[in-house]
Structure 1
Amino acid sequence: MIGFDEACRRVVAIAAPLGAERIALDLAWNRVLAAPVIARRSAPETAVSAMDGYAVREADLAAGPTRLRLVGTSFAGSPHGGPQLEAGACVRIFTGAPMPAGADRVVVQEVVQREGEAVMFAERPSPARHVRAAGSDFAAGEALLKTGTRLTPQALVAVAAADLDTVEVFVRPRVAVLSTGDELVEPGQAANPPGTIPESVSFGVAALARAWGGEVVCRQRLRDDLPSLVRAAGLALDTADVIVVTGGASVGERDFSKAMFQELGLRLEFEKVAIKPGKPVWVGRVGARIVVGLPGNPSAAMVTARLFLAPILAGLGGARPEEALAWRAAALASPLGACGDRDCFHRGRSTFDGVRSVGNQDSSAQKDLAMADLLIRGRPAARPLAAGELVEVLVF
C-alpha cells in the first residue's frame, strides 16, 4: 500500500498525450489544442464604429455648434465607409460599420438632430471617439491561444473570430467502463429477482470520464465469472485506451478485477492506497493501455475516479494532469471530524459561508453523494477542525 501523494505522482507519470488530429470547429468544445491558434485576419480588419451615430471629422466640431451635410451611410458589412469625408460633411454610421476615409470620430445619435440631409451638432460631444481601431482586438498572424488550452465556449469564440473552421487538437482517450458483480442489474430491473440492486456506479464513472475529455466507447455490466471476464477484458483492450473496472477490487472469492487482466499482461503501477474511502483502488497497464480498478461502493468509486481517473484522462487528452488535482484552500462552514491513519476525502458542498461535509460519509452512500460538489481532504492523524478553519478542497 502506498500513500495518496505517491499514487498521484505515479498517475501523472503515465498520463501522456495519445496524439493529435484536426477536427471541425463545431466538434471542438472541451478539446485541448495540440497547436496554437494563429489569427488569419485582424479584428477588426479596418477601423469601425463602436456606436450608432454619425462619422465626422474632429476639426469640423472644434468651433462649437455646427451643421454638417449628410453625404452617405455606412452599415456593418459594407465594403467601405462611403465617400471620403471633406470639410463640412458627415456619414450616418452603425455599430460595426467601417469608418469613412477622413473621419476620426463618431458622435452618438442621441446628441444630434437630423434635419433632412443636414445634421445639427448643437453641443460639444464627449471625449469618447467611439472608434475601434484596425487590429485593436488582435492582428493577423497573432497567436490567440497556445498549445494545451482547453477549448471552452469562450475560447471557441476567439478561434472562429480568427477565421478558422478547423483546429488541431489532442486525441480524446477512449474509455471502456466494466462493472462487475452478480448482484447487479440494470436500473429499472431490480424488483425481480430478489437480492439484486441497480447498477449505478458505471453511469457516474462514464459521465465523469466524459467531463474530463474521455470518449466512452463501452459501458458493460458483467457477472462474476472469470472466463467471461477475461474475454470482456480482451475486447475492451482492443477498443479502448483506458479500461475502468468497478467492483471486485478487494480480496473476496469473487473479486476478479485484477485477475481478469493478469493473463493479458497486467503490470501494476500500484494496488491499494492509504485513503478513505477507496483503499482498494488500483492502477495498472497492459501494453499501452491503462487499467483503473475502482471499488464497487458508489461513493468510494466516484471519489477514487475523481482522484485518479480524472488526471489520467486529462493527461492522455493533452492537458496537464496536475490540473485535475488543483486543490485550493477554503474555510469550513461547520466542524470537521478527525482523520485516522489515512488521508480522508470527505464529500462536501460549497455554501454561502464556506464549505461543509454532506451528511452520510459511508462509502456506499448514494443519496448524499448527489449533493456533493467538492472533496475535502483530511490529512492522516489530522485533529478535528472547527468552523472557520481552512481546509484543502478539490472540485468534485
Structure 2
Amino acid sequence: MISFDEALERIRAAARPLAKESAPIDGAAGRVLAAPVIAQIASPRCDVSAMDGYAVREADLTALPARLQVVGESFAGSGWSRSIGEGECVRIFTGAPVPEGADRVVIQENVRRDGEHAIIEEQPGKARHIRERGGDFKYGDELLRPGRMLDKRAIVAAAAADIAQVEVFKRPRVSILSTGDELAEPGMAAERPDAIPESVSLGVAALVGEWGGSIVSRQRLRDDLSSMERAAAHAIASSDLVLVTGGASVGEKDFAKAMFGSAALSLIFSKVSIKPGKPVWFGRSGRTLVMGLPGNPTSALVTARLLLAPLLAGLSGREPMEALRWRSATLKTALRDCGARETFHRARWSGNDVEVFAFQDSSAQKVLADADLLVRQNANSPDIHAGDEIRALDF
C-alpha cells in the first residue's frame, strides 16, 4: 500500500496527453490547446472610438468655444471614408473607426449640437477616448499558450484573433464498468427487495465530463466472470481509460481485476493509504489505462476527485496537478486525531470558515450532495482545533 503523494506521482507519470486534432472554435469549449493561438489580425484593427461623441482635431480646440461643421457620421462597421479638415468634425459612435485627421473624441455630453454644427464650449479634459490600433494585441502576437483550457475567456480571445480552427488534444475516451449483482438502474430498484440503485457510475461519469473526458460507454455488469471478461475486453479496445466501480475487496465474487486477466493488466498500484478510498487501484493494459474505484458512493467520488481528476487533466493536455489546487482555510468544527491513513473529510463552507460534516460514512449520499469541499488531514495527525488553519479542495 502506497501513500497518497506516491499515488499522485504515479498518476502524473501515466497521464500523458493524447493525440492532437483540429477543432472548430465554436465547438472547442472545454478542450485544451495543443498549439499556441497566434493573432491573425490586430485588435482593434484601426483607431476606434471608445465613446459616443464627435471626432475632432485637437488643433481646433485651442480657442474655445469651438464651432465645428459636422461633415459626416462614423459607425462601427461603416466608418467615415475621408479625412476631416480644419474646422470639421464627424459624429462618431463607440467602436467606430476614427476618421483620418482626427486625433481625439469629445464625448457627446460635452458637445452642444446646433444644426450641422457641433459647439464645444469648455475644455473637454485630457482623455482622448480613442482605442489605438493594436492596443489590445497586434498581428502575430501569441494570445494563448499550449496547455490552456479553452474556457469562456480563452474562447473570446481566440475568436477575437480571427481564429476559426484551434489545435487541441483529443478528449480521453472513457468506459465505465459498474459491478455487482445487487445493483439496479435508478427507477428500477423498488421492484427488487434486495436491489440498490446504481448511483456511483452516474456521478463518476459527471466528473469525467467536468475534467475533459468523453464517455463512450457506461455498463452495469452482473458478477459473472465470463461476461465481465467480454465487457472488459471490449472496453479496453474502445477506450483510452476504463473505470471499474465496485468489486475491489476480497469477496468470492469480486472480479474487478480478474476480468482483465486476458487483457494482460499490469498494476501501477493496488491500494492507497487514504480514507476513504483505500481499495482504489490503477493499471495499464497495452495503451489503455484502467482505474478501479470503490463501490461505496462517497469513497468512489472522493477517490475520483483526488486521483481520477488529475489523471483526466493530464490525458486531456493539462498539467495534472492543476486538478488539485488546495487552499488554506479556517476550521469551524474540530477534528479528532487521525490514524495511519491520510484522511479526506467531506465539508462545506460556513461563511468564511469550513464546517466538517459529523457523518463521514463511506456510503453516505445525502452528505455527499451537501459537501462542496474536501479537508485534508495528514496521517497520524493530532487533534485539529476549531480556528486552526487547514487545507481544503473544491469538491
- TM class, shorter-length: over 0.9
Q: How does 1:1-396 map to 2 (within 5 A)?
A: 1-78=1-78, 80-396=79-395
Post-superposition shift, 1:193?
A: 1.4
- Post-superposition Cα deviations, 1:111-158, rounded to whole Å, max 9, x if no partner, equal 111111011111110211100000000000000000100000011000
Post-superposition shift, 1:388?
A: 1.9
Post-superposition shift, 1:377?
A: 0.5
Post-superposition shift, 1:219?
A: 0.7
State the alpha-carbon separation in 2 of the partners of residues 186 and 37 from structure 1.
Answer: 44
State the alpha-carbon separation in 2 of the partners of residues 86 and 334 from structure 1.
Answer: 73
- Post-superposition Cα deviations, 1:208-252, rounded to whole Å, max 9, x if no partner, equal 001000001111111011111100000101111100000000111
Structure 1: which amino acid aligns with 2:17?
Answer: P
* Percentage of pairs with the same residue: 58
Post-superposition shift, 1:330?
A: 1.5
State the alpha-carbon separation in 2 of the partners of residues 295 and 358 from structure 1.
Answer: 21
Contact 1:300 1:364 in 2 (8 A): yes
State the alpha-carbon separation in 2 of the partners of residues 18 and 381 from structure 1.
Answer: 39
- Post-superposition Cα deviations, 1:298-321, rounded to whole Å, max 9, x if no partner, equal 000001111111111111110011
Unaligned runs of 5+ in 1: none
Structure 1 runs (4+) greater than 3 angstroms displaced: none
Contact 1:82 1:91 in 2 (8 A): no
Structure 2: which amino acid aligns with 1:256?
Answer: F
State the alpha-carbon separation in 1 of the partners of residues 284 and 367 from structure 2.
Answer: 33
Unaligned runs of 5+ in 2: none
Q: Name which of structure 1's ranges 245-254 and 332-341 shifts more when overlaid on structure 2.
A: 332-341
Contact 1:176 1:216 in 2 (8 A): yes
State the alpha-carbon separation in 2 of the partners of residues 236 and 310 from structure 1.
Answer: 20
Contact 1:358 1:371 in 2 (8 A): no
Number of equivalenced pairs = 395
Structure 1: which amino acid aligns with 2:123?
Answer: R
Provide the secondary structure at the position in 1 that maps to 2:100: coil
State the alpha-carbon separation in 2 of the partners of residues 219 and 263 from structure 1.
Answer: 21
- Post-superposition Cα deviations, 1:356-394, rounded to whole Å, max 9, x if no partner, equal 213421000000100111211000111121222111112
TM-score in terms of structure 1 length: 0.98
State the alpha-carbon separation in 1 of the partners of residues 40 and 352 from structure 2.
Answer: 47
Q: Pairwise CA RMSD of aligned residues? A: 0.9
- Post-superposition Cα deviations, 1:157-194, rounded to whole Å, max 9, x if no partner, equal 00000001110000110000110000000000111111
